[in-house]
Amino acid sequence: MKQRILVCGLTGLACALALAGHAMGAEPAPTLRELTLPDALRMALDQHPELRAARGRVAVAAGQADQAGVWSNPELELMADDWPVTGGHGFTDAKQTVGVAQVIPFPGKKGLDRQIGTTRVRLGEAELSRRHRELELEVKTAFCRALAAERFVEVAGELVRVAEASTLTARRRVAAGAATDQELLRAEIPLEQARAALAGFQRDRETARLALAGWLGLPNWENLQMAGRLAETANPGLLNADPTAWLADHPNLKAAQTRWEQAELEGRRARLDVYPDVKVSLGGGRLGDTGHSIVQLGFSVPLPVFDRARGRQREARAQAEVADAETEAEERQLRQSWNTASQRYRAAVEQAASYRDRILPKTSEALRLVQTGFEHGKFGFIDLLDTQRTAAEAQLAYHHKLLELNLAQVQLETLLTRNPGAAQRQEVSQPKTRE
């Protein structure tokens, strides 16, 4: 008997040690890292490949602008003229010279080339700023949708728990003979609907998380937890903002205006193409076997007989007209985007305030009164289910309005942003500005 007790004790001790060792060897649960909106923007924008490519294009344009103002290199000329083919002493009798030739551009050409290069740098900077804004808008939108998805899951979970409690109450009433099976079915249907809605919101949450992870450059959503809340009230600065305060600084409009300046400069440059560049050569040497020293001076000028650059001039004028029309169209588009987003924002603010200040308090009070009345037998179970469903629908509708409010706010904030992510401008020269 004692041996059996001893064996059982040792076996229990061994099992306890094995369980303890398994617990000690188990991997700890991963720590979740909170993801705030500033963190998301930093992760998405710091090393985004599209922004790196845009910065590279700015650097390329700056290098081309520097190169555009440089004269071509002089040419070293080694010449032997009047070389006798028959008789004489061959190369010794030839006129031998060494010289340098240089193409001198017509005055104003290189300066305009340099200014045109500067406009290309500014176009690259505007494109960088535009893409930065677009990416910032996408990240903020994805972050808002992920936050809203988290809240939808929370609200749907609460609705499932309420429906489960109602179903349990119905079962107890049926078991006690105080209700019919029809009442139980009426309670089970909202429960199944709430569970299906919860499953749908959970799928939407995973979709929103993966979309945000994609903008952050992450392969999946691991060890991250959303931090923050959706804005519930209006931003007075957005409601009172004037489009004229930000319109001129918007990269889309600045790019259109820069294209107009570039077309004007290219038109001036095309009008100079008819004036040829002069090639000057200067050399020295000796005159055959006489030993006399000589100096040679030459000028070479292309004759503008066939190519008078009329096609390039006509092209430049057309490009200026196109750029002018695009500038006006871009300004109209930006104003329309602002007006549309402002209307959406004001409507969402008013609707969210209506739900927050009037609808939700009334539904909560109605639910409290019906619950109290149901406990005292003044209302039926069906009345309680209907009131709970109304309260649930109001909660979900309110959070949908909050999502609309935040999406419109993000769009307005993006329009108001002043040159985000603009590269350090590499000034080459000052181009002509439009009057």
pLDDT at 196 > cutoff 90: yes
pLDDT at 83 > cutoff 90: no
| Distance between CA atoms of residues 18 and 24, nearest Å | 10
| 22-36, 216-230, 375-389, 407-421, range with greatest mean pLDDT | 216-230
pLDDT at residue number 380: 76
pLDDT digits (tens, 9 = 90+) for 117-148: 999 999 999 999 999 999 999 999 999 999 99
pLDDT at residue number 104: 93
What share of the chain in percent tops pLDDT 70?
87
pLDDT digits (tens, 9 = 90+) for 284-342: 888 877 778 888 899 999 888 888 888 888 988 898 899 899 999 998 999 998 889 88
pLDDT at 45 > cutoff 80: yes
pLDDT digits (tens, 9 = 90+) for 166-193: 888 778 878 887 777 777 787 788 889 8
Tell me the pLDDT band of 1, cut-offs 50, 70 and 90. Answer: very low
Mean pLDDT is lowest, of 84-88, 96-100, 363-367, 392-396, for: 84-88
Per the model's pLDDT, the better-predicted residue between 247 and 404 turns out to be: 404
pLDDT at residue number 205: 93
End-to-end CA distance of the chain: 110
Residue 124: CB atoms within 10 Å: 23
Q: What is the mean predicted confidence (pLDDT) over 56-74?
A: 92
Note the Cα 382 to chain centre separation in Å: 50
Instruction: Give the pair of three-digit tokens for residue 258.
Output: 């820069």
Sheet holding 278-287, edge to edge: 75-81, 95-104, 278-287, 292-300
Instruction: Please state the length of the chain.
Output: 435
Q: What is the mean predicted confidence (pLDDT) over 344-372?
A: 91
pLDDT at 430 > cutoff 70: no
For the chain, list the domains and their CATH numbers: 129-273+309-416 (1.20.1600.10)
Tell me the pLDDT band of 241, cut-offs 50, 70 and 90. Answer: confident
Element housing 102 (H / E):
strand 95-104
Q: Do the Cβ atoms of 382 and 166 come closer than 8 Å?
A: no
pLDDT at 14 > cutoff 70: no
Note the Cα 70 to chain centre separation in Å: 37
pLDDT digits (tens, 9 = 90+) for 198-220: 999 999 999 999 999 989 888 87
pLDDT at 429 > cutoff 70: no
pLDDT digits (tens, 9 = 90+) for 403-425: 999 999 999 988 887 655 444 44
Q: Do the Cβ atoms of 35 and 224 come closer than 8 Å?
A: yes
Residue 347, burial from CB neighbour count under 10 angstroms (0-12, 13-18, 19+): middle
pLDDT at 433 > cutoff 50: no
pLDDT digits (tens, 9 = 90+) for 280-296: 999 988 887 777 888 88
